[in-house]
Amino acid sequence: MKKFLVFWLMSLAGFSQTTNAFDKANDLYNSGYYKKAIVHYETILESNQHSAELYYNIANCYYKLNEVGPSIFYYEKGLQLSPNDPDILNNLEYAQKMTIDAIQKVPESGVSKLFNKTLNSLSVDGWATRSVGLVFLFVILFLGYYLSHSEAKKRLFFVSSSFILILLLTSLVLLFKKDSLDQSEHSAIIYAEETEVKAQPNLRSETSFTLHEGTKVVVIDTYNSNWSKIKLSNGETGWMFTSELKAL
């Protein structure tokens, strides 16, 4: 009991310190001291506290400082935790307008576009939480079916539980698909002001194209830890220095 009390008090103290740091950073941001605000926000990250709101505020600071790469990076980090947040999506769009590279996405079919929109509407944790909720709901409805004596109620519980089961299976499929994609595709933001993307992982190789700060890419391979093979949303690929990227 004493150990639990000590742990609870330590947790409460940590929460209080985090809240104070967050409030202090917000005050600095509102006063226009964006660099100082970033320092305070980062102390929260260093204490292993993460939230969409925290990433959003850090991104806003960098946006105010006209630092394109970091602002887009932190907006994207916020979207990983809250994919449908309208404020993050809106500000990310403004930040992306500051980038130089105009890369057209590969067109998607109607079915593929709908599937990807649904898949990316929640994070892995979001799909997991939804799946757990559906499991509990299915169990409750199934118990209602099993314990009911009325034929009408049995029919109602059976239809309802069957519908929830279909939703649960769909949610689980999307959960594993989302987790698989997150594990295989490693998105990153270019931090270099300008970088040449090579056809092969060496400096003597031909330059395929040039990219600039703030562009989002997918890392699909690495070589000697110094080179990363990246893929653009239009399907183009090439090699660039890993040090010029920041993984999301």
Whether residues 128 and 92 fall in one domain: no
Whether residues 91 and 124 fall in one domain: no
| Distance from C-alpha of 60 to C-alpha of 65, rounded to nearest angstrom | 9
Whether residues 179 and 234 fall in one domain: no
User: How many domains is the chain partitioned into structurally?
Assistant: 3
Last residue of a domain, one of 139, 162, 184: 184
Q: Note whether residue 191 is domain-resident.
A: yes
| Distance from C-alpha of 32 to C-alpha of 38, rounded to nearest angstrom | 11
Whether residues 73 and 156 fall in one domain: no
pLDDT of residue 196: 94
Whether residues 42 and 70 fall in one domain: yes
Whether residues 50 and 26 fall in one domain: yes
Q: Render each residue's pLDDT in the chain as its tens digit; 248 residues.
A: 433 333 333 343 444 567 788 899 999 999 999 999 999 999 999 888 889 999 999 999 999 999 999 999 999 999 988 888 999 999 999 999 999 887 777 666 778 878 888 888 888 888 999 999 999 999 999 999 989 888 899 999 999 999 999 999 999 999 999 888 777 678 999 999 999 999 999 999 999 999 999 999 999 999 988 999 999 988 899 999 999 999 98
Q: Note whether residue 102 is domain-resident.
A: no
Q: Note whether residue 101 is domain-resident.
A: no
Whole-model pTM: value is 0.72
Q: Which helix (H) or strand (E) holds 108?
A: none
**Domain residue limits at 224:** 186-247
Neighbours of 32 (CB within 10 A): 9
Look-up of token digits 């997150």: 182
pLDDT of residue 170: 95
Largest CA distance in the chain: 79
CATH of the domain at 233: 2.30.30.40
Angle between helices 68-81 and 52-64 (to 10 degrees): 160
Whether residues 66 and 123 fall in one domain: no
pLDDT of residue 198: 95
pLDDT in tens, 25-44: 999 999 999 999 999 999 99
Are the C-beta atoms of 238 and 205 separated by less than 8 Å?
no
Last residue of a domain, one of 167, 184, 201: 184
| Distance from C-alpha of 237 to C-alpha of 106, rounded to nearest angstrom | 13
Whether residues 81 and 54 fall in one domain: yes
Q: Note whether residue 21 is domain-resident.
A: yes
Whether residues 91 and 145 fall in one domain: no
Last residue of a domain, one of 57, 72, 96: 96
Whether residues 212 and 236 fall in one domain: yes
pLDDT of residue 47: 86
Whether residues 78 and 23 fall in one domain: yes
Look-up of token digits 């040449």: 196
Of the candidates 178, 59, 188, the residue with the CA atom closest to the CA atom of residue 122: 178
Whether residues 139 and 164 fall in one domain: yes
pLDDT of residue 83: 85
